[in-house]
């Protein structure tokens, strides 16, 4: 059996500050969720799990043609930690031996398959348990986590999500430079400035 690297895409949030589902905002001709899932699929990682919550019914048709596993997180309102838990749980029920997982969100429009590949290369090269993206002086997602951290990822208690684990093990984190990773879509102003690019 091949050891493999899975991807969990967190897309369960309600985009309260935006007032509409950010997952469905159009960028370069497709929705953000479509673009993110396409990047994940093209990376060659498997399995790819998409965690939905708010607006699941609206988002599902956007990604129904991709070879991904859809998980609906009924506790999405309790925070990102519940979506990470739902994703890891699903990952552990697959028949494959999963060596690591990459956590992605769908509101970073400058994500690329190339970046995902770089993270995987760094993971195999350096053997660090975490490979995080570095931007604007912080470490964040997308980030790769070794399966040794799955038990902790299932027990996240706060809404800081993956960053909580990155911060806890900061001395063991390898990094990949992703300068445009700081650009994410939280408000309509963010979206307007993205569209002007």
Domain of residue 116, CATH code: 3.90.550.10
The 3-state DSSP class for residue 3 equals strand
- Residue 114's pLDDT band, with cuts at 50, 70 and 90, is very high
Nearest CA among 37, 46, 39, 49 for reference residue 4: 46
CA distances from 182 to 75, 124, 141 (A): 27, 25, 10
CA distance 25 to 27: 7
2 pLDDT more than 50: no
User: How confident is the model over 130-186, as pLDDT tens digits?
Assistant: 999 999 888 999 999 999 999 988 887 766 678 889 989 989 999 999 998 888 887
CA distance 177 to 180: 9
Q: Which domain holds residue 115?
A: 3-195
Our count of domains for the chain comes to: 1
User: pTM of whole model > 0.85?
Assistant: yes
1 pLDDT more than 50: no
Q: Give the pLDDT score at 100.
A: 95
φ, ψ for residue 140, nearest 5 deg: -160, -160
- Residue 22's pLDDT band, with cuts at 50, 70 and 90, is confident
């Amino acid at each position: 059996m091949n050891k493999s690297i899975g991807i969990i895409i967190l897309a369960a949030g309600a985009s309260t500050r935006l007032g509409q589902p950010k997952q469905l905002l159009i960028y370069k001709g497709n929705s953000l969720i479509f673009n993110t899932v396409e990047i994940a699929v093209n990376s060659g990682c498997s399995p790819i799990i998409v965690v939905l919550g708010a607006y699941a019914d609206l988002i599902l048709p956007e990604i129904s043609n991709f070879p991904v596993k859809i998980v609906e997180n009924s506790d999405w309102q309790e925070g990102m930690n519940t979506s990470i838990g739902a994703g890891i749980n699903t990952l552990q029920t697959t028949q494959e031996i999963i060596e690591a997982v990459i956590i992605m969100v769908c509101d970073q429009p400058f994500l690329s398959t190339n970046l995902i590949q770089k993270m995987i290369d760094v993971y195999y090269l350096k053997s660090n348990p975490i490979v995080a993206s570095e931007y604007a002086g912080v470490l964040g997602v997308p980030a790769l986590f070794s399966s040794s951290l799955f038990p902790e990822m299932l027990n996240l208690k706060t809404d800081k999500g993956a960053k909580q684990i990155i911060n806890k093990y900061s001395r063991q984190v390898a990094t990949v430079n992703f300068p445009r990773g700081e650009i994410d879509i939280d408000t309509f102003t963010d979206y307007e400035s993205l569209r002007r690019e």
